[in-house]
A and B are shown apart, each in its own frame.
Chain A
Amino acid sequence: MSTTAEAVSTATSPIAVEVEQVSKIYPGGVEALHDMTIQFPKGQLTSLLGPSGCGKTTLLKIIAGLLPLTTGRVTVNGVEVTGPGEERAFVFQDFALMPWASVLRNAAFGLELRGVPKSERNAIAEKYIEAVGLKGYENLYPHELSGGMRQRVGLARALAVDADVLLMDEPFSAVDEQTRRKFQEDLLDVIKEEGKTFIFVTHSIEEAVYVSHSIALLLPRPSRVSEIIRPDIDRSISPDAIRRDPVYLDIVERIWQGLRSYVE
Chain B
Amino acid sequence: MKIFGIKIPMMASLIFWAILWEIVGQLELSILLPPFSHIIIRLVEIVPTKMFMDAFLVTAQCFLAGIAIAITLGIPIGVLMGRSIVIDRMLLPWVNMFLSAPLTALVPVLMTLFGFGMKTIILTTVLFAIWIIVLDARAGVKNITPSLIDMAKSFQASYWQAFTKVYVWAALPEILAGMRLGCIRAVKGVIIGQLLVSVVGFGRLFELYSSNFLMEHMWALLFVLFFFAFILAEGLGLLERKFEYYAAERH
Known contacts A98-B169, A113-B161, A143-B245; A66 and B156 CB within 8 A of each other:
no
- Say whether A99 contacts B246, CB under 8 Å: yes
The CA of A142 and the CA of B170, in the complex, are separated in Å by 14
- Say whether B147 contacts A99, CB under 8 Å: no
In whole Å, how far is A94's beta carbon from the nearest beta carbon of chain B? Answer: 5
Number of interface residues of A (CB under 8 A): 27
Residues of B within 8 A of A94 (CB): 145, 147
- Say whether A90 contacts B249, CB under 8 Å: no
Is A80 engaged at the interface, CB distance under 8 Å to the other chain?
no
- Nearest B residue to A111 via CB reads B155
Is A262 engaged at the interface, CB distance under 8 Å to the other chain?
no
Is B153 engaged at the interface, CB distance under 8 Å to the other chain?
yes
Is B241 engaged at the interface, CB distance under 8 Å to the other chain?
no
- Say whether A142 contacts B154, CB under 8 Å: no
Most buried by A among B151, B156, B246: B151
- Say whether A84 contacts B156, CB under 8 Å: yes
Contact residues, A73-101 vs B (CB, 8 A): 83-86, 88-90, 92-96, 98-100
In whole Å, how far is B197's beta carbon from the nearest beta carbon of chain A? Answer: 41
Q: Give the residue of B152, B157, B166, B249 whose beta carbon is less than 8 angstroms from that of A142.
A: B249
Residues of A within 8 A of B161 (CB): 113
Q: Give the residue of A90, A114, A161 whose beta carbon is less than 8 angstroms from that of B150.
A: A90
The 0/1 profile, CB within 8 Å of B marked 1, for residues 12-37 of chain A is 00000000000000000000000000
The 0/1 profile, CB within 8 Å of A marked 1, for residues 151-178 of chain B is 1111111000100011001101000000
Is A110 engaged at the interface, CB distance under 8 Å to the other chain?
yes
Is B23 engaged at the interface, CB distance under 8 Å to the other chain?
no
Residues of B within 8 A of A61 (CB): 150
Residues of A within 8 A of B147 (CB): 92-96
Is B148 engaged at the interface, CB distance under 8 Å to the other chain?
yes
Known contacts A99-B246, A99-B250, A100-B246; A66 and B169 CB within 8 A of each other:
no
- Say whether A114 contacts B155, CB under 8 Å: yes
- Nearest A residue to B166 via CB reads A98
- Say whether B154 contacts A66, CB under 8 Å: yes
The CA of A90 and the CA of B146, in the complex, are separated in Å by 14
Contact residues, A110-132 vs B (CB, 8 A): 110, 112-114
Q: Which residues does B use to contact A, with CB under 8 Å?
A: 145, 147-148, 150-157, 161, 165-166, 169-170, 172, 245-246, 249-250
Is A64 engaged at the interface, CB distance under 8 Å to the other chain?
yes
In whole Å, how far is A90's beta carbon from the nearest beta carbon of chain B? Answer: 4
In whole Å, how far is B75's beta carbon from the nearest beta carbon of chain A? Answer: 16
Is A109 engaged at the interface, CB distance under 8 Å to the other chain?
yes
Residues of A within 8 A of B172 (CB): 100
Residues of B within 8 A of A96 (CB): 145, 147-148, 150-151
In whole Å, how far is B119's beta carbon from the nearest beta carbon of chain A? Answer: 37
Q: Which residues does A use to contact B, with CB under 8 Å?
A: 61, 64-66, 83-86, 88-90, 92-96, 98-100, 109-110, 112-114, 142-143, 161
- Nearest A residue to B247 via CB reads A99
Most buried by A among B147, B161, B165, B169: B147
- Nearest A residue to B161 via CB reads A113
In whole Å, how far is B147's beta carbon from the nearest beta carbon of chain A? Answer: 4
- Say whether A143 contacts B246, CB under 8 Å: yes
- Nearest A residue to B156 via CB reads A84
Which A-B residue pairs are the 5 nearest by beta carbons? A99-B246, A96-B147, A96-B151, A90-B154, A99-B249
- Nearest A residue to B147 via CB reads A96
The CA of A118 and the CA of B226, in the complex, are separated in Å by 46
The CA of A110 and the CA of B161, in the complex, are separated in Å by 11
28 residue pairs from A and B, CB less than 8 Å apart: A61-B150, A64-B150, A64-B154, A66-B153, A66-B154, A84-B154, A84-B156, A85-B156, A86-B156, A88-B154, A89-B155, A90-B150, A90-B151, A94-B147, A96-B145, A96-B150, A96-B151, A98-B148, A98-B169, A98-B170, A99-B245, A99-B250, A100-B170, A113-B152, A113-B161, A114-B155, A143-B245, A143-B246
In whole Å, how far is A153's beta carbon from the nearest beta carbon of chain B? Answer: 12
- Nearest B residue to A86 via CB reads B156
Residues of A within 8 A of B165 (CB): 109, 112-113
Residues of B within 8 A of A84 (CB): 153-156
The CA of A109 and the CA of B170, in the complex, are separated in Å by 15
Residues of B within 8 A of A89 (CB): 154-155
The CA of A88 and the CA of B153, in the complex, are separated in Å by 12
- Nearest A residue to B249 via CB reads A99
- Say whether A113 contacts B155, CB under 8 Å: yes
